[in-house]
Structure formats: C-alpha cells, structure tokens
Amino acid sequence: MKDSLKENHEMAQRAELHRKIWAIADDVRGAVDGWDFKQYILGILFYRFISENITEFFNIAEHQAGNLTFDYAKISDKKANIDFRPNTVEKKGFFILPSQLFKNVVKKAKNNENLNIDLANIFKAIEGSAIGFPSEEDMKGLFEDIDTTSNRLGGTVAEKNKRLINILTGIAEINFGDFQDNDIDAFGDAYEYLISNYASNAGKSGGEFFTPQTVSKLLARLVMDGKTRINKVYDPTCGSGSLLLQMKKQFDEHIIEQGFFGQEINMTNFNLARMNMFLHNVNYNNFSIKRGDTLINPQHNKEKPFDAIVSNPPYSIKWIGDADPTLIHDERFAPAGKLAPKSYADYAFIMHSLSYLSSKGRAAIVCFPGIFYRKGAEKTIRKYLVDNNFIDCVIQLPENLFFGTSIATCILVMAKNKTKNKVLFIDASKEFKKETNNNILEEKNIQTIVEEFRNRKNIKHLSRYVDTSEIEENDYNLSVSTYVEKEDTREVIDIKALNKEIQETVQRIDELRASINKIIEKLGDD
C-alpha cells in the first residue's frame, strides 16, 4: 500500500513537472532548437536550485541563532560580502550575492532591458566565486552551455530577453518544494523528458543512450544488495550523473564513505553531471566528476579501487584498440591477453571497470546483447572473465526501455569475491509495464529481479544458476537464452480435435459438392 501511494505521488510530481516544461516549450518553441532548449531549461533550473540552496543555508543558520525574521534574499550585497561571503565557498563550493539570486532576478526580469547580459555576468560570477578554492574545478564552465547572448534566442536583445523571461518565469512557477524531499529526481526527470521529446536523435550519437531512472534504480539495488556500507561509488561513463545519484537516493541508510566518482567525455554531459551533484546536495568535497576519455586517459587512478561501480557505457562504439600498441600492456587490459575490437569498445569499458573494482566490490553494467555471443577477441575476453570467476550474473532486460532504441539490453554483474564457480542467468524480458512510447520497469519488476539475484533459485523460464563448466561447454556463450528456456506462449493445439474438425469439414464439402452436382444435372435435363 505504501509503495503504491509513493508511486502515485511520483506520478503526480512527474506530471506537474512535464506540464510546466511543456508550457515553457510552447513559449520558446520555434525560436530555440529542442536540443538547445534542453540546455537553457536545465541550466536555469540549476540556477534556481543553487540560489534557493544557499539562501536556505544562510537562513537556517540565522534562525537557529535567534534571528527568526532573517531572509538572505532581502539583505544588501554589501552586507552579504562582509558578513556572509567569508568561509562560505569553503563549505558550499560557491557564493551568490542577494542581487544575483534567481528569485530576485525573476522579480525584475520583465523590466530589465539588460537581462541577457546580466544573466551572463551572474553565471560568470557564480563560477568565479570558486576561483582559488578547492571547488574551483567543480564550478569551472558549469554554465558555458547556457549562452544568453546567442542569436538562437532571437535576433535582437528584446527577443532574447523575451524568451529568457518566459523560461525564468516558467521555472519560477514550478512548485518543487524542497528539491531533496521530492520523490522523483527532478533534474534527471526533466533531462529524461526533454531527451524523449526534443532530442531523440541528438542524444544517441555514438551509441549513447540516456539511462532511464528505473534502470538506474535497478543497477543501484544490484550493486548494493546485501551490503551495509561501501567506500565509494564510480561510474566510468557517467553522462549526466543519473546512475551515481540513484545510489544516493536509494541508499541513504547505507554509508557511502568517500562519495561519488565519475568520468565523462562529452562537455555538455560533464557540466550536467556536476550540476546534478550540486542539485542533490552532494557537496563539492564529496564528489569528483572529471572530463576525458575513460579508455585512453582515465582520471581516477589514484582513487581506485571502488566497492561499487555502475555504468551504461556507449553501445559498441569504435576506439583506438590495437592501433595503439601500448594498450595491450595497460594494467586494465593486459590480463585478458586481448584488446576489445576497434569497432566494439564494450569489453574495453568492462575490463576498465573490473580493474577499478575492489576485492569485495560489485559492478553492474548495462550491455549490448551481442557482446555475449560474438566470437574473436570478445570471446577471448569472456573466457578470461569466466575462467577467473569474475562473472556473477547476466540479466536479460525487456526491449524498448531506452529512448532512441528498441534493443533489449542486458546487465552484466561482476564481482571478485565469489565463493562458487557459478553464474546466475535471469530472463527479465517480461518484467515491464507497457507505456505509450517506451516500456518501463515498475517497482514490482525491480523487486522480482533483485530477489532472484539474491536467492539464486532455478525457476523455469526465469532463472538458472549455472556451473562455469557448462558455460565452457557452450563455447563461453553468455547469452541468457542459452541457459534459460523461453516460455512457449503459442496456443496449444489439440491434434485429435483438429483432425476431427478437418474430417467434418471435408465431409461437408463433399456433401455440398454432391448437392451442387445434382442441381447442375437437373438444370441440364431441363
């Protein structure tokens, strides 16, 4: 009952968010491309959040000190600089003057002829507030995708300001309450919604697909099942950070001692990931999001190993592979004796993740189904993983879970502390709720998968716990369908009844023919 009420509340929050975003879209659509529109919405949504966040930070402190009527948004910039700026950046990672707060900018927006320039300066000031402090790298370039002077907003300053006003006021009207108290990931949900409606093509370049929150939730539950504390969590291809944030949202009762770590090659997603961390009250000193090519230039060598790794790497993208002769000697790839093919980097990401995994950790990785049965170098790497007992579980997910692709993806779970030479195979292809455009995992579907992952029972048409010797006999094929028999949903036909029906039909046809012949004969006699 409780879960049902929570799901209904989530649906209501999500519907409100989508309605408001669509209303803003109606005001700016036609002038701003869908992909660019996403950047403005998410950037200004983030701007609202950090404004409210720092206001609340100061207000709570003052109220606890006895100044019950204090409101940071109402004091002067001069007083803020003197009394509130000192030590704030060390604690929060940034500083915002009262005049720069989202709330105060919105109030004056309609009458501000310099709105677009003022916003650009505010964004620079927020980023600049961290210069010389430990949070400098975390704040640098956060707003660079939100160009308020761009001609995409309009050819004149007045046009630019008009559309910025529409976006500002639209976001101001969304009733979020406290962001951290929302049942949905407001920022991630907005991102997912905008991807599905405006960026169906732009979001899947190079095999990149946004991870739906329900899939993120499943990955988080899998890596944390049976654990009460971990050192830290890592996503080597973190995108907008949704997988890392699900770890925080799902496991507040667990202790993630050293925080959240991720790497992203795409600049826009890199900025979104850092925003997302701040948005969920993950302080700058509790996360490390780095930019760069994870396979060629990994950024977290000093921080490994990790007890939890979650990842949705880009499907089957090309990489340099054996064109770089040094990579076969890289400690990440060398143990398998082969590099992932240049045309399919999947196992490069998998071997990278395995290298970063602690001896007691668990990794859950979304994978393209083809990697579990293709031959060549990929088979060699599978053999290494199976023979060394690193493969814990392979889960077949339903098709059409991801925006932009109908492919039925899989989850690969790896561990270094297995006590049995067995691999669990789960066919979860029927565990979904069908919606208009995409299938989704409901809470009951996630629970079914996690419970079977935990219990490891042999259940007809659902799961098998297989000895690695059988996998070897199957030429190291790791496809779920090789081990879990699909349920035959075809209609069962009663052959005897069918034959009887055919005989009766033939008899009726013969009788009809005889009757027709008699009629013809009679007509001939006439």
Both tokens of 262, joined, read 């991720």
Residue 393: its H or E element: strand 391-396
Strand locations in 400-467 (E) = 410-415, 422-427, 433-434, 439-440, 463-467
Three-state DSSP at 498 gives helix
Q: Are residues 169 and 248 in the same domain?
A: no
Contact 271, 298 (CB under 8 A): no
Q: By three-state DSSP, how is residue 74 classified? A: helix
Task: Look at residue 30 and tell me whether its pLDDT is greater than 90.
Answer: no
Indicate left, alpha or beta for 206 from its phi (over 0: left) and psi (-120 to 50: alpha): left
CB 28 within 8 A of CB 36: no
Mean pLDDT rounded to a whole number for the chain: 87
Among 177, 198, 219, identify where a domain stops.
198
Domain annotation covers residue 476: no
- Say what percent of the chain tops pLDDT 90: 61
Claim to verify: residue 416 and residue 274 sit in the same structural domain: yes
Residue 427 φ then ψ, to 5°: -100, 95
Output b/e per residue, 504-516; b: 16+ Cβ within 10 A.
eeeeeeeeeeeee
The more confident residue out of 294 and 268 is 294
CATH number of the domain encompassing residue 273: 3.40.50.150
**Which residue among 420, 452, 468 closes a domain?**
420
Sign of the torsion angle spanned by Cα atoms 463, 227, 241, 235? negative
The 3-state DSSP class for residue 286 equals: helix
Q: Which residues contact 345 (CB under 8 A, 6 or more apart)?
A: 295, 313, 314, 316, 317, 318, 319, 321
DSSP 8-class letter at 424: E
Radius of gyration of the chain (CA): 29
Same domain for 87 and 138, yes or no, is yes
Task: Give residue 416's domain range.
Answer: 207-420
Instruction: Find out whether 474 and 453 touch, Cβ atoms under 8 Å.
Output: no
Instruction: Please report which helix (H) or strand (E) contains residue 91, including its range.
Output: helix 88-92
Is the same domain home to 367 and 336?
yes
Task: Kindly report, residue by residue over 181-235, the tens digit of the pLDDT.
Answer: 555 556 666 666 666 565 444 444 444 557 888 899 999 999 999 998 999 999 9
Q: Tokens in use for 108? A: 């004056």
What is the C-alpha separation between 311 and 398, in angstroms, rounded?
Answer: 18
Model confidence band, residue 5 (pLDDT cutoffs 50, 70, 90): low
Q: Which residue has the tokens 């079914």?
A: 448
pLDDT-above-70 percentage for the chain? 87
Q: Does one domain contain both 181 and 236?
A: no
Greater pLDDT, 23 or 355: 355
**Which residue among 385, 420, 455 closes a domain?**
420
How many angstroms separate the CA atoms of 312 and 512, rounded?
66
In a domain, 452, yes or no: no
Half-sphere exposure for 311 (CA within 13 Å, toward CB):
34
pLDDT over 80 at 322, yes or no: yes
Looking at the structure, do residues 217 and 170 belong to the same domain, yes or no?
A: no
Kindly tell me if the per-residue pLDDT of 63 is higher than 60: yes
3-state secondary structure of 281: coil
Range among 29-43, 69-83, 199-213 rated most confident: 69-83
Q: Which two tokens stand for residue 308?
A: 């939890």
CA distance 198 to 345: 28
Q: How would residue 122 be classed by pLDDT, with cut points 50, 70 and 90?
A: very high
Decide if pLDDT at 410 tops 90.
yes
Backbone angles phi, psi at 53, to 5 degrees: -65, -45
pLDDT digits (tens, 9 = 90+) for 335-374: 999 999 999 999 999 999 999 999 999 999 999 999 999 9
Please say whether the beta carbons of 378 and 344 come within 8 A: yes
Q: Decide which of 353 and 438 is more confident.
A: 353
**Shared-domain flag, residues 183 and 307:** no
Q: What is the pTM of this model?
A: 0.84
pLDDT, position 361: 96
